[in-house]
Amino acid sequence: MWPKILYDVSEYTALGERMLLPERQARKALASLRKDLGWKVFLDDLLRLHHVLGPIYTDGCKRYRVTRLKYPYDPGTYTFEPL
> What pLDDT, on a 0 to 100 scale, did the predictor assign at position 40?
83
Q: For the chain, how many residues are written?
A: 83
Positions in the chain short of pLDDT 50: none
Q: How far is CA 20 from CA 48, 72, 82, in A?
A: 9, 15, 13
> What pLDDT, on a 0 to 100 scale, did the predictor assign at position 38?
79
Mean pLDDT of the chain: 90
Q: How far is CA 69 from CA 34, 54, 76, in A?
A: 25, 16, 8
Is 6:49 a contact under the CB 8 Å cutoff? Answer: yes
CB within 8 Å of 56: residues ≥ 6 apart = 63, 64, 65, 66, 83
pTM attached to this predicted model: 0.87
